[in-house]
Amino acid sequence: MPRPLTTAALGLLLCAPLAAQDSLAVPKFPILPSPIGLHADVRPNEFLGVEGRKAAWLGQETGQAELWVHPLKVAEDFHLDFRIPDYEEPVRGADVARTVDVRPDVTTITYSHATFTVREHIFVPQHEPGTLILLDVQTIHPLQILVQFKTVMQYAWPAGFGGQNAHWDDADKAFVLSESLARKNAFIGSPWATVASNHPAHDIPEAPNLIVIPVDTARARHEFIPIAIAAGTAPRDSVRAAYLRLITHARELYQQKHAYVTALLDSTTTLVSPDTTVDLALQWAKVNLDEARVCNPDLGCGLVAGWGPSGRGERPGFGWFFGGDAAINSFAMDALGMTDEVGVGLRFLATYQDHRGGANEGKIPHEISQAAAHIPWFTAYPYPYYHVDTTPFWLVALWRYWLATGDRHLVDSLWPNARAAFAWSRTRDTDGDGLMEDGPANMGAIEVGALKESIHEDIYVAAVWIEALRGMQDLARLEGDVPLADSAAAIERIATATLNDRLWRPREGHYAFGILNSGKTNDNLTVWPATAASFHLLDSARAERTLQALARDSISSDWGAHILSTGSPLYDPMHYNNGAVWPFVTGFAAWGQYRYRRPWSAWPLVNAVAQMTFDFSRGRDPELLSGAFYRPLDTAVPQQFFSNAMLVSPLLYGAIGWSPDAPRGRARLAPQLPPDWDTVTVRHLKAGASDVTVGYARAPGRTRLTLRGTGPALGIDLVLAVPAGARDVRLQVDGRDVPTHLTAGYHDQTVTTTVRTGARAHVVTTTWAGGLSVVAPTTRLVPGQTSTGLRVLDFRAEGRGYTLTLEGERGRTYAVNLIGESVRTAGATVAAHTGDRTTLAVPFPAGTGRTTLVVRLAQ
């Protein structure tokens, strides 16, 4: 740790004369509120991140931070302290940091003391290689602001260089950080600074760098005090120009960032529902996913996986480029209409596809360090092509991007890459069963732990590969490559049969995790079959049994899905792959439940991921959480983008049921909304240039769907849910009866029709008599809690009644809410009945945690 300055040395520095540069003044301008801003008290040790395309401030709510300008970690332990005449020692900023305001464009920490208030506005301009901090100061006594940091000036992991040095440039009022050849440079300073600590120019100091800013109270009433950080693998003059640009164009840069995030929030898919937590979490998911786009001066622009402090190392969370994460996140971006970012990510990964002619020829990179251009990353390190699933995932991402946008140009330009990726993927099937195989240099679902031992093929990779085969058929036909399309179709048939036959375990009642090298199966119950369910690849009856198993608390805890069942002898709630809860796999679990029309098992998982957006790092979702308690693991990356994505995908593809097919001018809308939601509006559902707004209203025995479209006309195939057991179903479009074809499923019924968007809105009304729906039980999560919530495992109409299978904690009584007909049951009491809503009080005796109720009509 840096050695603190002595009181005597600090006093000498503070006696220096004021020399603020009037030409670099930053007149105060409004810091605008955000409709999704989060205001709260400061919490110690909670992550706070502010990020742009080229730089990041990665710190804590108490104000300490690392300063990054890619690919450089510029400094660490950046923080503010304050000196007032009444105190001998400085007032530590961390001790008086009181509130934090997290907005998409700027984050503000307020330091509150009896004699001063300082608001630290932190923002990273969208396209500048640096960060700007604007201090809004109010004080009743003389005040000095002490800016301290420890010089790092090092490449991101695992690259490195030596010869770092730091010196104070009094002309620019900035520390200049550099190295022996002066090819990598940084400026950290403020035109308000008077003096700074002095260190040998040939070395990195052990003590912190210190910048002293005496506050001119008259100027501070009208001006911000700017602190600018600029850096780059660039000549010093160019970095200095960026440093000055941050200060002289402060207002313009802030307004550009504010306008950008406003447009992002307003032009992409937005939900207005009775669950305001989910609505707000969706908005923050957009912000997070946008922050995944990073422009590296040496590598280009692509999608990183997450952000977090590097601590004593040089790896900023998962702030480097991950192929699998980019693909998974692209599904959510497609759904939101953020397809420009998807295109950037696809091109970036294609640029670094392996074309060296060896065993990895055609493979898409798994991960690329921010410093990859400065080391033999692609030849000397094992990480760039580490995973087997990344390559087929890239193919799925390309296909789904095309379905979302109809962008033929991008598909044409990347088609050679797709062919090469497909050819490599085929080499991973050596036994002819159609599935891609794992291996030591081809990691699949599991990276560490006993679960991956002796795995030949796992169900996660199998699902991704089969989905890629479906996509390649579509893309190959688009490109006129009929032989490739036929080949993909033939492999798909074999692979799907292997998945549904070899991996099905009838005695256990669920799909196995994988096939072992011995030919036997690893029969552990894991969350990974949910990936195949999300892509609708499973036999319906077998999927039903598997999804019931995945809905149990042993997989689906109150805060999300365990990778491995708590009933497995390998389960460890702290283990990365053998028991932790991941929002990423929680999303697949929810999405899979929706694909087989089990919304009461899906919605609690979506709701849980939404809640965690606000319970830990504000506006962010962590990488993974403990399997035993609702809190992130200490090792978890605090801002992980596939966690945000896996709120979006099950919400928009599942609950809202949107599925675009822009090339063919069509889309599918199959909502499975919570039955207690009476009104919902979804804006900016996109399919190419078509933009659709959907309004939903529910009343007893009736739903009303309103569709408005702009842009090119779009044929929308509607699949509308009707409660289990409902009778006399009638469908109207714009007030006219249309033929009603009722399809009965395991759990509900659906009617279908097609409308075409155009100059006027369409109103689609469904009416029925009778029927019953169960409201998905959700838990208001409290950090540190254990999993004790209620689960719906099964619900269906049978004869003149219904069966409802529930799981809960032994010895407790739970409220179960039903909507529809009046009912009674021998296994519970009716606690309340109002209109079409009934609440049952369901007891769970001390000896059992599962019960099946036979629910009869009350008449």
Environment class of 357 (CB within 10 Å of its CB; exposed 0-12, middle 13-18, buried 19+): exposed
Q: What is the pLDDT of residue 789?
A: 96
Cα separation values, 553 from 424, 426, 558, 807, 809, Å? 39, 38, 8, 8, 10
Residue 201 has pLDDT above 70, yes or no: no
Distance CA 554, CA 564 (A): 8
Q: Helix, strand, or coil here: 596?
A: coil
The residue from 229, 261, 293 where one domain ends is 261
> Taking CA 57 as the corner, what is the angle to CA 52 and CA 58, rounded to the nearest 5 degrees?
115
Q: What is the pLDDT of residue 204?
A: 78
Strands (E), 446-534: 455-458, 504-505, 510-511, 514-516, 521-522
Distance CA 594, CA 597 (A): 5
In a domain? residue 25: no
Q: What is the pLDDT of residue 759?
A: 81
Q: How many domains does the chain have?
A: 2
Distance CA 807, CA 848 (A): 9
Q: Among all chains, which residue has been given the structure tokens 């009491």?
A: 829
In a domain? residue 214: yes
What is the pLDDT averaged over residues 24-48? 97
What is the pLDDT averaged over residues 799-827? 93
Q: Are 203 and 165 in contact (CB under 8 A)?
A: yes
Residue 538, φ and ψ in degrees, nearest 5: -100, 145
CB neighbours of residue 848 within 10 Å: 11
What size, in residues, is the chain? 859
Residue 11 has pLDDT above 80, yes or no: no
Distance CA 583, CA 624 (A): 7
- According to DSSP, residue 141 is labeled S
In a domain? residue 255: yes
**CATH code of residue 162:** 2.70.98.10
The residue from 244, 261, 278 where one domain ends is 261
What is the pLDDT averaged over residues 613-639? 97
Distance CA 99, CA 121 (A): 12
In a domain? residue 582: no
Strand partners, 112: 117
What residues make up the domain containing 801?
Answer: 791-857
Quick: pLDDT tens for 663-693.
999 999 999 999 999 999 999 999 999 999 9
Q: What is the pLDDT of residue 800?
A: 84
Q: Are 96 and 161 in contact (CB under 8 A)?
A: no
- According to DSSP, residue 73 is labeled E
> If pLDDT is split at 50, 70 and 90, which confidence band does 694 have?
very high
Whole-number average pLDDT of the chain: 94
Quick: pLDDT tens for 704-737.
999 999 999 999 999 999 999 999 999 999 999 9
Q: What is the pLDDT of residue 22?
A: 64
Distance CA 528, CA 438 (A): 15
What is the pLDDT averaged over residues 570-575? 95
- According to DSSP, residue 363 is labeled P
The residue from 246, 261, 276 where one domain ends is 261
What is the pLDDT averaged over residues 148-169? 95
Quick: pLDDT tens for 380-438.
999 999 999 999 999 999 999 999 999 999 999 999 999 999 999 999 999 999 999 99
> If pLDDT is split at 50, 70 and 90, which confidence band does 21 have?
low
In a domain? residue 249: yes
Residue 570 has pLDDT above 70, yes or no: yes
Q: Among all chains, which residue has been given the structure tokens 């809190």?
A: 631
Cα separation values, 853 from 552, 597, 603, 772, 816, Å? 17, 20, 21, 14, 11
Number of alpha helices (DSSP H) and beta strands (DSSP E) in the chain: 18, 50
In a domain? residue 179: yes
205-209, 337-341, 382-386, 550-554: which has the minimum mean pLDDT?
Answer: 205-209
Residue 5 has pLDDT above 50, yes or no: no
Quick: pLDDT tens for 783-806.
999 999 999 999 999 888 999 999
Q: Among all chains, which residue has been given the structure tokens 């079409």?
A: 836
Q: How many Cα atoms within 13 Å fall on the side-chain side of residue 302?
A: 31
Among 264, 291, 280, 265, which Cα is nearest to 607's?
280
* DSSP per position, 701-743: TEEEEEEEEESS--EEEEEEEE-EEEEEEEEEETTEE----EE
Residue 808 has pLDDT above 50, yes or no: yes
- Estimate the share of the chain in helix, then strand, then coil, as percent rounded to the nearest 5: 30, 35, 40
Residue 9 has pLDDT above 60, yes or no: no
In a domain? residue 359: no
Distance CA 748, CA 26 (A): 62
Q: What is the pLDDT of residue 15?
A: 38
Environment class of 793 (CB within 10 Å of its CB; exposed 0-12, middle 13-18, buried 19+): buried
In a domain? residue 153: yes
